[in-house]
Amino acid sequence: MSLLSFLNPAKDFALEVAVKLWINKTKKHYGHMTILKIDSTAKSIHVELDLKGEPAPLRIDIKSYQLSSEGGDTCIELGEIETSREWINQLISAYLPPAKKRFKVPSIAKAAVTTLL
């Protein structure tokens, strides 16, 4: 086991805490994030949200992601996404084909996300 692979869980945990705190502070009018699990080795993300007006938590599983740096911008490309709501899965399938699952990471999150590169 290399030192880098040994440190990945700690790095993932620190990022999870920071992102969860930021989301819950800035997006509290929608509800709150109860679970965020990032596995930078497997390149997967698991999220659970308690959203206002929803009877049950929303689960989101991003089965793979790829981070890249291009011209000073950090981008994230999402692989397969599955949620606990069938209608959201259908929307993702219809409106987010693979070419549209690539997003520029906002500058406020860039420093935290680049630790995963």
The single-letter DSSP state of residue 31 is E
Q: Which residues contact 58 (CB under 8 A, 6 or more apart)?
A: 48, 49, 51, 83, 84, 85, 88
For residues 71-97, give the mean pLDDT.
92
Q: What is the pLDDT of residues 13-52, one digit of tens each?
A: 988 998 899 899 999 999 999 999 999 999 999 999 999 9
The single-letter DSSP state of residue 40 is T
Q: Supply the pLDDT for residue 2.
A: 57
Residue that is written with structure tokens 């805490």 in the block? 17
β-bridge mates for residue 69, sequence order: 74
Distance, in Å, from the CA atom of 9 to the CA atom of 21, rounded to the nearest integer, reads 18
Q: Supply the pLDDT for residue 50.
A: 98
Distance, in Å, from the CA atom of 76 to the CA atom of 117, rounded to the nearest integer, reads 10
Instruction: Please state, as a whole number, how many other Cβ atoms lie within 10 Å of the Cβ of residue 113.
Output: 17
Q: What is the pLDDT of residues 44-69, one digit of tens each?
A: 999 999 999 999 999 999 999 998 88
Q: SS3 of 106, please?
A: coil
